[in-house]
Structure 1
Amino acid sequence: RLVPKKKVCYAFPVDENAHQVIILDKKECEGIKEGTLAVVEIKKFPTHLQEAHGRIAKVLGHPQEKNLVVEIIVHKYNLPTDYPPEVIKEVERIEVKLEEELKRRKDLRDQLCFTIDPERARDYDDAVAIEKTPDGNYRLWVHIADVSFFVKEGSATDKEAFKRGFTFYLPDRAIHMLPERLSADLCSLKPNEDRLAFTCEMVFSPQGRLLGYDIYESVIRSKARLTYEEALRLITGDPVLERKYPELVEPLRLMEDLYRILAKVRWERGSIDFDLPEAELIVDEYGEPTAVVPYERHTAHRIIEHFMISANEVVAMHLENSGYPCLYRVHEKPDPQKVENLLEILSGLGYKVKRPSLEPKFFQKIIEDFEGRPEENLVKFLTLRSMKRAHYSPHNAGHFGLASERYAHFTSPIRRYPDLMVHRLLKKALKGEPIDYKKTLAYLQTAGEHLSAQERLAEEVEREAIDRLKARLMKAHIGEEYEGIITGVTSFGFFVELQQYLVEGLVSITTLEDDQYVYDEPSHRLVGISTGKVLRLGDKVRVKIVGVDEERARLELVLV
């Protein structure tokens, strides 16, 4: 934040280094309004004798004149905003010789397959098709964009994609892993266009047992681009949509049958479905937040999720059985200490466990036991927090949350680099190509560490952008009252999540005037000395918003 003075110009960092001050040349700040935000480059670092000196690299603007929240985050994390010239040139030169590809691929262009994606999506990674076999089994095709055909190993595009690791989704934009010509056109499985795909064809019994599979390169032609809402309406019955897509009704209902069979098998295995409520932040064309709307996961979402999980499991199994290395998606067992902490918190909610376990079914039961209770979502969140983070590794340790013995990411290569790596390994395995096992394993280890870090960065960036924009939106609601649930209790107060907006704020202990409260740490609650009134984790409360710190994305609340 720039503060011009008569003889000098100061720059104050807007992040956690706000205590620092950077001296700028007075001339640089000429005509600049106080409070203007800029990217400042350090020329001399601070010492115990003098402050830091710097220069303005880029003026972003004044926060009162335009919304700079996402712009600040992009620069704070040094996110790429464009592609190197060599990548652009390389992508422009790409061409598909379809006739040549048809000679070596399976031609599935006549098959009735289609995509189901969010309304605003433009990068269609996956298409699905289904049929019931004469003997009553389900044959499922999962077609994935064949990105490895377009992005050659070691190319400029490949190096840039690896560096980014993932597509970063921000409320007003997406910072794509691949240039638009690839992500939204050549690779994207657009309707009524011939596209190169990598297909995983699976046959399941009516009990959900995998009877056989085949993995191959193909050419497909998606017959429709459905949104999740349209798919749901076709499943439940919508005469208008049924007239528009008469041929899709039967396959979608078959898909629903298979999804329910697969979900039951996974549930019996111990797969944990956290299904936490999500909210979508709506922004206008200027990037200003206008509303927070609940984002509902329904049958159509679950159909795609379960089909993608099946393909991911089959691919990991195939690579393992073929004796080839794989970049697994690993989710290890939770740390026993974290589980102990979780059970301590749950005991404060009146939940007692006789025999704790580190098996998925134990956590599945906790979530089931709280189903329908006011604390249901809080318990799901706390249980999720007790888990380890999933990450990428060539060493298979299974996937705890899915109760899966082996798992890899194969189904989203347009937006996730690990999937692209798995495609390449799979193609080598299918062709029986010799590889240097030791060298490949070492590379997968290094790549897995980098990609796991990039994934954490993407999550952090997305969360910070949403939290700050939610805080900006809530400025217009200062003085209003809301229902909320206590999500955290500390010695200095308690945190409340407003249910309408899924945004969190702090009620400071100093604002509780009806009594003097003490913090009962083991039970995660505040107790009034005179009244004995208890404020505990999971309690429903009514609060009023009294202040908003937009930069730190914090709400100040008082109990009503």
Structure 2
Amino acid sequence: AKAANSPADKSKNKGGRGSKKQVFESYMAFEEVSHGLKRGELIQGQIRINPKKYHEAFVPSPDDTRDIFLDGIVARNRALNGDIVVVQILPREQWKVNCTYLSVYSIVLVCKPDVLNFWRQLFKNFVCTNDNLRSETFCLVFHLFLGSSLSFVLRIVNRHLPFVWQVVYIVEKKHSRAVTGFLKFLPDKPFAMFSPVDHRVPRINVFLADCPEDFSSRPGDYSNTLFICRITSWAADSNFAEGQLAKTLGQAGEIEPETEGILVEYDVDFSEFSDEVLDCLPKNLPWTIPPEEMRKRRDLRKECIFTIDPSTARDLDDALSCKQLPDGNFEVGVHIADVSYFVGEDNALDAIASQRATSVYMVQKVIPMLPRLLCEELCSLNPLTDRLTFSVIWKITPEGKILSEWFGRSVIRSCVKLSYDHAQSMIEAPEKMFSAEELPPADPEHPIDEIHQAVLNLHSIAKNLRAQRFSGGALRLDQLKLSFTLDKETMMPQGCYVYQYRDSNKLVEEFMLLANIATAHHIHSRFPELALLRRHPPPKAKMVDELQELCDQLGIDIDLSSAGALHKSLNTTLGDDEYTTARKEVLTHMCSRPMQMALYFCTGVLKEEPLFKHYALNVPLYTHFTSPIRRYADIIVHRLLASSLSAYFLYKIQKQASHCNDKKTLSKRVQELSSELFFGVFVKDCGPLDSEAMVMGVLDQSFDVLVLRYGVQKRIYCKSVAGLDSFHHRKVGKKSELTLVWTPEDPEKAPEEQVISIFTLVEVQLKADGAPMKYSAMLKRPEENES
């Protein structure tokens, strides 16, 4: 299709004498893109740029078998990571590909049926006897001319055409266009060069008039100053974007400036809530439940209901209850804060919650979705306080079989705020009589031993529910999570540790899953076209096949055919030595790579119900109901539960579902960056840190390791390893190996070789880099490993 210039391109490229050479292709017109997508000539998807090799980018293919590869910045055509783009095949003269495949591709594209038939007849009597004729190229032609479908041939050819795609249109700029980085003075230029910390973003020209007043005279004063810059334009005739400085953050390497930079870059709204928003909240404090509201609800205030949360949690949005019945069964309740009571539809509070979509959790702070008065007071299920809730109550057998189910709005009064540590202590000491001093303040109407017994009963039922889930085909990929201890005054990291996921965590998780599954079925049965659900697509088939081939070659008995088969494989003993756990961690990381993200969606948009399925949980319907204080999707689900939502249209729910997906993805990345930031400070202040590490992946000049003591992943580049004489890479099938040749410390000794492959154990040292907040993993010599 013929490309049309966008208005921005036209203003920059008027042709004639003195016009600049165009670096990027002009974007197509919207009408051409629409027609091209309908005809299948163009493909739309979200672009991912490799953070470690920023010249590589990918867009998912429509059939989800293999990603479309974009080679180089020019092919990306000014799109940034996360943007929704449209791509097409480059003109053939720009293809970089084996000429034989190019010829076959040309035949496929231009030959008429009668010409193809002629060639098919010509090849009919050919037999692959000669070794050369057994080559893949010949077999490809052979398949084509003997009647194989063109789609089959094109799939083979496309494996050998990895560099032929380019972006022709940006549908939606998902990237915030705000980046952190540093300013560099350029003599005799009217602008400074802004270098983003994220190498996936281009360098940006910033006019000197927009820079600090004394920047031109004293540029050295700003060499370590972190700025935020917003890209304002990027012309087709320039390698560099143009932008404006949004803010001076402070000195690089300090936690608060770096944190603010992360939040702005990932478009997290951390501003104070406006007066208009706060005016939506009750004015008469302390707030009490109106009598007319009490009459509409089931009164559960006399029941033994309690919360189990992290010890530092202040937004308590879920509570549990468990009462044994005379027939030996149990009445189990999940009680969720009724946030939708306070967040009315289409007011200022609803608008800001809808826009933020999620609370963002960082190491040292939380950016809340809702004002703190709601999060920590009005909606938080604080102990010894009447609170509005949505409840799901089951009659359930000790084995975990559900006999009946009730949904409804309720009022509860939590009798105690337990931490995971408190609940874990109760589980580990079933016969112990806990004293009042060992637990937080509790309602005297419910003795401590009653609470203890309820926790034990919940734990017993949860174990049965969990066993049923996994025997029924569910999957859980647990990965190491780094946590920090902070100085209470400075909020700087004092230490770090790998978070332990224990029985008390599993107890809460099991009943939250049960409530979410039950709610999904409930709202889908009543609103089949409007239900907001959460689906988890199966892993990428091509990546699964490659991983299966690699594991087979490594002699690892793993079954990737389904979620349940994979879970069973990972929990089968991988060996009986001390490194079995480490191997399982590495294998879990490898199995996580093909996995796709779970997504919110409106049921009216996806017509085929099998697509609703949640792959990891192996359930047909799932949603989010249990965390409305921190997730807007849950508020919508609460509204669906409460009414017919006749004012809500399908497109509105789907639009909000897509927005929640985007914000959840960004929130997850911000959380990861916050953890990386604090660990970088910890390494700088407390390092160098020595640890064993296990190799996770091998490339031609580097390898990735999982640092076992801290659960972090790092890449080690062979060229940067001190004391290394040379290195050699070889690949057999899917298995890669690096042979490192160490320079002997004793000149009279022969060089020592070290073979690096998946699951190899090495010793590394984590050491701060010269750059702020950065650290490297340095490989130690094999001799040091033995000492």
Shared fold by TM > 0.5?
yes
Aligned to 1:398: 613
Give the stretch that moved more between structures: 542-551 or 488-497: 542-551
Q: Distance in 2 between matches of 1:48 and 1:369?
A: 57
Aligned to 2:523: 319
Q: Distance in 2 between matches of 1:27 and 1:447?
A: 38
Partner AA of 2:731 in structure 1 = D
1:51, CA displacement in angstroms?
7.4
Describe how 1:90-239 pairs up with structure 2 within 5 A: 90-91=280-281, 93=283, 97-237=289-429, 239=433
Deviations 1:151-173 (A, max 9, x none): 01111111111111110011111
Of the three residues 711, 731, 743, the one matched with 1:520 is: 731
Instruction: Verify the 8 A CA contact 2:729 2:737 in the aligned structure 1.
Output: yes
Q: Distance in 2 between matches of 1:225 and 1:497?
A: 37
Instruction: Verify the 8 A CA contact 1:492 1:508 in the aligned structure 2.
Output: yes
Partner AA of 1:377 in structure 2 = E
1:504, CA displacement in angstroms?
2.4
Q: Is 1:73 aligned to 2:262, yes or no? A: yes
Q: Distance in 2 between matches of 1:214 and 1:347?
A: 48
Instruction: Verify the 8 A CA contact 2:762 2:779 in the aligned structure 1.
Output: no
TM superposition score normalised by structure 2: 0.65
Partner AA of 2:597 in structure 1 = R
Deviations 1:122-176 (A, max 9, x none): 0001011001211121210110000000001111111111111110011111111
Give the stretch that moved more between structures: 39-48 or 364-373: 39-48
1:553, CA displacement in angstroms?
4.6
1:375, CA displacement in angstroms?
0.8
Distance change >3 Å, CA 256–CA 70, structure 1 → 2: same
Instruction: Verify the 8 A CA contact 2:205 2:243 in the aligned structure 1.
Output: no
Aligned to 1:501: 710
Aligned to 1:13: 196
Describe how 1:20-39 pairs up with structure 2 within 5 A: 20-25=204-209, 28-30=212-214, 33-34=221-222, 35-39=224-228
Distance change >3 Å, CA 539–CA 435, structure 1 → 2: same
Q: Distance in 2 between matches of 1:66 and 1:455?
A: 23
Q: Distance in 2 between matches of 1:147 and 1:435?
A: 20
Q: Is 1:542 aligned to 2:763, yes or no? A: yes
Distance change >3 Å, CA 554–CA 537, structure 1 → 2: farther
Instruction: Verify the 8 A CA contact 1:23 1:51 in the aligned structure 2.
Output: no
TM superposition score normalised by structure 1: 0.90
Instruction: Verify the 8 A CA contact 1:125 1:413 in the aligned structure 2.
Output: yes
1:210, CA displacement in angstroms?
1.3
1:334, CA displacement in angstroms?
2.4
Give the stretch that moved more between structures: 84-93 or 481-490: 84-93
- In our comparison, the structure showing a higher alpha carbon Rg is 2
Deviations 1:394-431 (A, max 9, x none): 23522111121211110000001111111000111xxx
Q: Distance in 1 between matches of 2:497 and 2:319?
A: 28
**What SS does the aligned partner of 1:232 have?**
helix
Structure 1: tracts of 5 or more residues without a match? none
Q: Is 1:275 aligned to 2:478, yes or no? A: yes
Distance change >3 Å, CA 209–CA 493, structure 1 → 2: same
1:532, CA displacement in angstroms?
7.4
Describe how 1:392-431 pairs up with structure 2 within 5 A: 392-395=600-603, 397-428=612-643
Aligned to 2:279: 89
Aligned to 1:336: 541
**What SS does the aligned partner of 2:769 have?**
strand
**What SS does the aligned partner of 2:415 have?**
coil
Q: Distance in 2 between matches of 1:330 and 1:54?
A: 39
Instruction: Verify the 8 A CA contact 1:349 1:538 in the aligned structure 2.
Output: no
Q: Distance in 2 between matches of 1:156 and 1:536?
A: 56
Give the stretch that moved more between structures: 45-54 or 371-380: 45-54
Partner AA of 1:513 in structure 2 = L
Aligned to 1:364: 567
Distance change >3 Å, CA 85–CA 410, structure 1 → 2: same
Instruction: Verify the 8 A CA contact 1:230 1:241 in the aligned structure 2.
Output: no
Q: Which has the higher contact order (CA 8 A, sep 6+)?
A: 1
Partner AA of 2:302 in structure 1 = D
Aligned to 2:468: 265
Partner AA of 2:696 in structure 1 = T
Deviations 1:322-354 (A, max 9, x none): 34432111112223222112212322432146x
Partner AA of 1:393 in structure 2 = F
Aligned to 1:386: 594
Q: Distance in 2 between matches of 1:434 and 1:104?
A: 19
Q: Distance in 2 between matches of 1:449 and 1:486?
A: 37
Deviations 1:477-513 (A, max 9, x none): 5554321111221112111121112222222122372
**What SS does the aligned partner of 1:392 have?**
strand
Deviations 1:290-336 (A, max 9, x none): 32212111111111000111111111111223344321111122232
Partner AA of 2:494 in structure 1 = T
Instruction: Verify the 8 A CA contact 2:191 2:205 in the aligned structure 1.
Output: no
1:252, CA displacement in angstroms?
0.8
Aligned to 2:701: 492
1:239, CA displacement in angstroms?
4.9
Q: Distance in 1 between matches of 2:238 and 2:342?
A: 55
Instruction: Verify the 8 A CA contact 2:202 2:240 in the aligned structure 1.
Output: no
1:189, CA displacement in angstroms?
0.3
1:14, CA displacement in angstroms?
3.1
Distance change >3 Å, CA 540–CA 108, structure 1 → 2: same
1:44, CA displacement in angstroms?
7.3
1:473, CA displacement in angstroms?
2.0
1:97, CA displacement in angstroms?
4.1
1:466, CA displacement in angstroms?
1.4
Of the three residues 438, 441, 451, the one matched with 1:248 is: 451
Give the stretch that moved more between structures: 245-254 or 181-190: 245-254
Q: Distance in 1 between matches of 2:231 and 2:563?
A: 50
Q: Distance in 1 between matches of 2:312 and 2:691?
A: 31
Q: Distance in 1 between matches of 2:280 and 2:478?
A: 41
Distance change >3 Å, CA 552–CA 336, structure 1 → 2: farther
Instruction: Verify the 8 A CA contact 2:639 2:645 in the aligned structure 1.
Output: no
**What SS does the aligned partner of 1:196 have?**
strand
Q: Distance in 2 between matches of 1:272 and 1:514?
A: 44
Partner AA of 1:465 in structure 2 = S
Aligned-CA RMSD value: 2.9
Deviations 1:57-86 (A, max 9, x none): 432222367652212111222321222331
Describe how 1:40-79 pairs up with structure 2 within 5 A: 40=229, 56-63=245-252, 67-79=256-268
Instruction: Verify the 8 A CA contact 1:28 1:55 in the aligned structure 2.
Output: no
**What SS does the aligned partner of 1:265 have?**
helix
Distance change >3 Å, CA 549–CA 260, structure 1 → 2: farther
Instruction: Verify the 8 A CA contact 2:363 2:675 in the aligned structure 1.
Output: yes
Distance change >3 Å, CA 287–CA 9, structure 1 → 2: farther
Partner AA of 1:85 in structure 2 = D
**What SS does the aligned partner of 1:80 have?**
coil
Of the three residues 661, 672, 681, the one matched with 1:452 is: 661
Q: Is 1:351 aligned to 2:351, yes or no? A: no
Aligned to 1:291: 495
**What SS does the aligned partner of 1:393 have?**
strand
**What SS does the aligned partner of 2:678 have?**
helix
Give the stretch that moved more between structures: 265-274 or 548-557: 548-557
Distance change >3 Å, CA 552–CA 473, structure 1 → 2: closer
Q: Distance in 1 between matches of 2:211 and 2:772?
A: 28
Instruction: Verify the 8 A CA contact 1:39 1:58 in the aligned structure 2.
Output: yes
Instruction: Verify the 8 A CA contact 1:319 1:426 in the aligned structure 2.
Output: yes
Give the stretch that moved more between structures: 274-283 or 151-160: 274-283
Percent identity between the two aligned chains:
27
Instruction: Verify the 8 A CA contact 1:113 1:128 in the aligned structure 2.
Output: yes
